[in-house]
């Protein structure tokens, strides 16, 4: 941001952040009209002008802001980024969830990841509709679906939970839940009346050095006010969040006060597991506690999803998974055994469903496209001597390698 003086820019940033943290202004502050007038005048005079947005000219997506999608197992997770942020802030968490075998959808919310000008015309319904579409896409191909989000992304995850009683659970990282005060909104409205378009950026609140967030350098006012309307909506319906909740709260957060997490923990009737992140600021997904955050998120999904599949639903039992793991010389803990039992059972269920398809009128084919294999001419060559090969076998029987049975053999 270009500022006339460092001190004036600092005063503006401090005023906005203080209002967000405290929810109001001190009694010694100038009257609201003067505050709005001063900030609006300052922004008009000193902030860079935003180029007019032309929808006919697509804006390139910022590097790292691309959506992320992985078709994994029968458990899906919608992952949502925050206000003015991008999928870059959530990609490590999304990658960890995908590595655990889950299907993952991390969309780029409308107006994000390109330019501030693109975001000015977007509103809460635009972002929530994309979250809804991602949830619906996963629900169409997964047995159980979770939602995870940072900041406004956490707000959207709660919004999904309030509208989908069948959602398996949510993971909320420093979500905005407590509606900002009317005085702060009035200040922003006053700035709009003065002609201001945006306020200083709130991105990259990260304690760890050298880990910037890919976010805009300004926060557009009208979309921010629309987000607050969405927060009003979800705050009024917290009593409908009956699914399990993993709430991850940074002890020091300069963007969203911890009282938002307090409100969610107090009003959500479902089980809430709260974890305090002691070394991270707001964007905890890119901060010191990111490894713990990822591990807890994966463990949470496994803990909630695995018991939901009953023993009778599983075609592979945990004991069979342990037996195969021993044969493969794999060391698995109880959580991994349970997860693999569910995932392998889902694979066998899909195979069984394919086997039941009626293919009587489908002509047999070896390949979906009309191609032919190109084979080399048959030529005789010397092969390995049978006795030489069998001499390498740990155990041989009847001129064959003897290997342990995989299934059907007592553990």
Catalytic center residues: 151, 253, 282
What's the CA gap between 379 and 3, in Å, rounded? 79
Q: CA angle, 104 as apex, 296 and 213 as ends, to 5°?
A: 70
Of 214, 189, 202, 255, the residue nearest 89 (C-alpha): 214
Question: Residue 9 in 3-state DSSP?
Answer: helix
Q: Which H or E run contains 98?
A: helix 91-99
What's the CA gap between 224 and 181, in Å, rounded? 13
Q: Which H or E run contains 193?
A: helix 182-193
Strands (E), 133-269: 144-150, 169-173, 198-200, 218-220, 245-250
What's the CA gap between 357 and 367, in Å, rounded? 18
Strands (E), 221-335: 245-250, 272-277
What's the CA gap between 1 and 99, in Å, rounded? 38
Question: Residue 188 in 3-state DSSP?
Answer: helix
Partners of residue 104 on adjacent β-strands: 70, 77
In DSSP notation, 111-157 reads T-SS-HHHHTT--HHHHHHHHHHHHHHHHTT-SEEEEEEETHHHHHH
């Amino acid at each position: 941001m270009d500022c006339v003086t460092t001190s004036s820019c600092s005063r503006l940033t401090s005023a906005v952040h203080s209002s967000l943290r405290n929810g109001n202004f001190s009694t010694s502050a100038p009257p609201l009209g003067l505050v709005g007038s001063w900030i609006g005048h300052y922004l008009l005079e000193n902030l860079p002008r935003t180029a007019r947005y032309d929808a006919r000219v697509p804006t390139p997506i910022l590097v790292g802001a691309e959506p992320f999608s992985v078709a994994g197992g029968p458990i899906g997770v919608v992952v949502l980024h925050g206000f003015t942020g991008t999928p870059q802030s959530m990609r490590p968490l999304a990658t960890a969830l995908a590595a655990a075998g889950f299907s993952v959808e991390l969309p780029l919310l409308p107006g994000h990841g390109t330019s501030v000008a693109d975001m000015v015309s977007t509103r809460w319904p635009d972002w929530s509709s994309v979250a809804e579409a991602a949830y619906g896409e996963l629900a169409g191909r997964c047995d159980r679906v979770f939602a995870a989000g940072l900041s406004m992304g956490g707000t959207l995850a709660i919004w999904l939970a309030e509208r989908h009683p069948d959602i398996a659970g949510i993971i909320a990282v420093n979500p905005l839940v407590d509606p900002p005060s009317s005085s702060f909104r009035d200040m922003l409205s006053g700035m709009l009346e003065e002609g201001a378009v945006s306020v200083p950026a709130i991105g990259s609140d990260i304690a760890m050095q050298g880990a910037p967030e890919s976010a805009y350098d300004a926060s557009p006012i009208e979309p921010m006010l629309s987000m607050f309307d969405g927060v009003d909506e979800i705050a009024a319906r917290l009593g409908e969040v009956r699914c399990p909740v993993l709430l991850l709260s940074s002890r020091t957060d300069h963007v969203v006060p911890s009282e938002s997490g307090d409100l969610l923990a107090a009003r959500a009737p479902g089980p809430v597991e709260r974890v305090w992140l002691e070394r991270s600021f707001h964007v905890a997904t890119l901060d010191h506690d990111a490894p713990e955050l990822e591990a807890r998120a994966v463990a949470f999904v496994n803990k909630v999803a695995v018991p939901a599949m009953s023993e009778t639903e599983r075609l592979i039992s945990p004991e069979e998974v342990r037996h195969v793991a021993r044969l493969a010389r794999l060391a698995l803990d109880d959580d991994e055994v349970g997860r693999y039992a569910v995932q392998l059972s889902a694979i066998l269920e899909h195979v069984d469903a394919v086997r039941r398809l009626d293919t009587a009128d489908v002509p047999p084919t070896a390949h979906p496209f009309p191609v032919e294999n190109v084979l080399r001419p048959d030529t005789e060559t010397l092969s390995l001597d049978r006795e030489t090969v069998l001499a390498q076998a740990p155990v041989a029987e009847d001129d064959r390698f003897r290997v342990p049975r995989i299934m059907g053999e007592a553990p």
